[in-house]
Amino acid sequence: MCSTANYVLPLRRTCEVLATPGKLCGGVSMSTNFPGARSHGAPQDTEMDVAWQELMAITELQFEVPGEGSYETPQYQSMEPMVPMGGYGITQSHSEPLPAAACELNTAETYDGCYSEEVPVCHRLGSNAEAMYRHSESQLNQRMLPVSSHTQPSLMAPREQMNVSGTSQGHRRANACLSQGLNRHMLWTTHGQNLHVRSADDLESDSGLSLGSSPPLASPDNPVGGAPGYQSVDIGMTYSDGEPDSMTDHARGAHIPYSMDYQNQSHSYLHSGAHPSYFSPQPTLSHTQPNAPTPWSVKQQGQSNLYSDSGLSTRGSSQHNMYTKPEGSMSTPVPRSRDERRAMALKIPFPMDKMINLPVDDFNELLTQYTLTDAQLALVRDIRRRGKNKVAAQNCRKRKLESIIHLERELNQLQAQREHLAKERSEFKRSLTFIKCRLTDLYSEVFSHLRDEDGQPYSIDEYSLQQTPDGKVYLVPHTNMQKREQC
DNA sequence: CAGGAATGTCATTGA
DNA sequence: GCTCAATGACATTCC
């Protein structure tokens, strides 16, 4: 272990002689007006110590800036390694003196350019940002990587692709189409329907396929078999899903008044939105009596259609807009959704909202009150599933949009905070540069006044000043420092 | 006519 | 095992 005791010259005594009131070993006043400097009322006999402590404190303003500008001189960077060396907090080698222009506070721009790369906001804000985003990280990712939901258009109708090749669509539904949809289409063919002659309803969307749980459903316009549009085959039924965009007069005239009360919207989420749900989650009907008349006639004649009047966009699924025409004829309310039409076609004896919104127990109880065919049961369960999912999708999208808005707002705030921090950083840089300059001047000033026992000045190349944690300042020969470094 | 928006639907997953 | 909500993906239609 190396000891520096023999090499260290207590500086206090010398400085006490050299220091003059109001000045620090050469007249460099430490009462500065730049950030980080503090004026103090320390006694003059300790002014040197206090001054050094101030300098020590000030130098802690040093930023850790990798690759900092060319202004940064090695001797300042080499100050930090002195800390573990016996607790000396500051040293300075003047073998590489600061450039003359060091005191010019013109380096701010030098650092500004590096800020974004050196100090990412996410790091600086670490915990806060994490807390702010912890609820929606995945959504943020989605936001950053918007998904294009549209596949490449095909020259063939999608369903034809599925029917013909079964491999055109490279997603998971293709498998289902292969296993289920294709079989169903084969059934159609078996029943004499052209495979490629698509009904209007079938062309509307995939909904007509109902791949998972129930077979496609009938259209009131194209009745097949006993129940309109249905014919029990194999899986329970086959059907003609032909459903023109507008119902024929015959079919419309045959309709039981079949409408729904769209007024209520139990989901508060949808209440606040601009898109009232198509379905009415809050049943307003009381048509649960067994064997009661088919409860589709709910809307009074002349009552405006809330679906159409609500301002709900007619875009989207064709099952909506295809029934906007009959709005003019208030006397003939018609079902507006495909499921409604299907339910009507199969004479489902309870309203849509009950099918969808009743609790499962009540729903099952409701089913037990009627004698339903398999087709009817399947349809009811499908309607229930689709209806719930439809509302869920609306809620999900609304949440997603709100999340996006929230994230954008946070992004703006963080950008503003980043700009503020960048400005603050620039200010600190300028202050630090100024302080370093003052320190260099002070250091040189101190050395210029130091004298050895023979009255000779100390060489700044052979000695350096160091301060211990207790505030004492020592003059340390470089040779001693080298030995200590070797230790 | 292309592309975006809105909406419905299905499949899947986790509670 | 069933139900349900949430959500990604896809389809469809309209603007």
pLDDT tens digit string along A174-183?
A: 333 333 333 3
pLDDT for residue A141 = 38
Q: What are phi and psi of A485, to 5 degrees?
A: -65, -35
Residue A425 lies in a domain: no
Q: Are residues A281 and A180 in the same domain?
A: no
pLDDT for residue A428 = 97
User: In chain A, how many H helices and how many E strands?
Assistant: 20, 5
Residue A344 lies in a domain: yes
Q: Are residues A356 and A291 in the same domain?
A: yes
Highest mean pLDDT among A56-65, A164-173, A190-199, A344-353: A344-353
Q: What percentage of chain A has pLDDT greater than the value 70?
A: 29
Confidence check: pLDDT of A216 > 50: no
Indicate the residue type of A161: Q
Confidence check: pLDDT of A288 > 70: no
Å between CA of A349 and C1' of B3: 43
The three-state secondary structure class of A275 is coil
Contact A287, A350 (CB under 8 A): yes
End-to-end, the C-alpha distance of chain A in Å comes to: 7
Q: Are residues A26 and A51 in the same domain?
A: yes
Q: Are residues A266 and A353 in the same domain?
A: yes
Average pLDDT over residues A37-57: 42
Say whether the CB atom of A13 is under 7 angstroms from strand C: no
Residue A301 lies in a domain: yes
Task: Identify the domain containing residue A88 by its residue range.
Answer: 9-95+432-486
pLDDT for residue A482 = 67
Average pLDDT over residues A460-475: 85
pLDDT band at A78 (very low <50, low <70, confident <90, very high): very low
pLDDT for residue A418 = 97
Say whether the CB atom of A278 is under 7 angstroms from strand B: yes
Average pLDDT over residues A17-46: 35
Q: Are residues A362 and A450 in the same domain?
A: no
Q: Are residues A236 and A263 in the same domain?
A: no
Q: Which of residues 244-273 of A touch strand B (CB under 7 A)?
A: none
Q: Which of residues 206-245 of A touch strand B (CB under 7 A)?
A: 206-207, 209-213
Contacts of A86 (CB under 8 A, 6+ apart): A4, A468, A484
Residue A217 lies in a domain: yes
pLDDT for residue A416 = 95
pLDDT band at A435 (very low <50, low <70, confident <90, very high): very high
Which of A215, A244, A273 terminates a domain? The answer is A244
Residue A356 lies in a domain: yes
Measured at the CA of A114, the angle between CA A112 and CA A119, to 5 degrees, comes to 100
- Tens of pLDDT, residues A129-184: 333 333 333 333 333 333 333 333 333 333 333 333 333 333 333 333 333 333 33
- Tens of pLDDT, residues A317-349: 434 333 333 333 334 445 567 778 788 888 888
Confidence check: pLDDT of A297 > 60: no
Q: In the predicted model, what is the mean pLDDT of chain A?
A: 51
Which of A372, A407, A424 terminates a domain? The answer is A372
pLDDT band at A5 (very low <50, low <70, confident <90, very high): very low
Residue A335 lies in a domain: yes
Residues in chain A: 487
Report the alpha-carbon distance of residue A108 to residue A103 in Å, rounded. Answer: 13
pLDDT for residue A347 = 82
> Rounded to the nearest 10 degrees, what angle do helices A47-59 and A374-449 cross at?
150
Q: What are phi and psi of A473, to 5 degrees?
A: -110, 135
Q: What percentage of chain A has pLDDT greater than the value 90?
A: 6
Q: Looking at per-residue confidence, does A108 or A449 come out higher?
A: A449
Residue A215 lies in a domain: yes
Residue A132 lies in a domain: no
pLDDT for residue A364 = 83
- Tens of pLDDT, residues A85-134: 333 333 344 434 444 444 544 443 333 333 333 333 333 333 343 333 33
Å between CA of A111 and C1' of C14: 53
Q: Are residues A272 and A233 in the same domain?
A: no
pLDDT band at A387 (very low <50, low <70, confident <90, very high): confident
Average pLDDT over residues A422-441: 95
Q: Are residues A356 and A265 in the same domain?
A: yes
Å between CA of A321 and C1' of B6: 12
The total domain count for chain A is 3
Q: Are residues A235 and A275 in the same domain?
A: no
Which of A331, A350, A372 terminates a domain? The answer is A372
Confidence check: pLDDT of A6 > 70: no
Report the alpha-carbon distance of residue A49 to residue A31 in Å, rounded. Answer: 14
pLDDT for residue A363 = 85
Report the alpha-carbon distance of residue A307 to residue A320 in Å, rounded. Answer: 9
Q: Are residues A264 and A367 in the same domain?
A: yes
Q: Are residues A276 and A360 in the same domain?
A: yes
Say whether the CB atom of A320 is under 7 angstroms from strand C: no
Confidence check: pLDDT of A412 > 80: yes
Q: Are residues A353 and A285 in the same domain?
A: yes
Confidence check: pLDDT of A430 > 60: yes
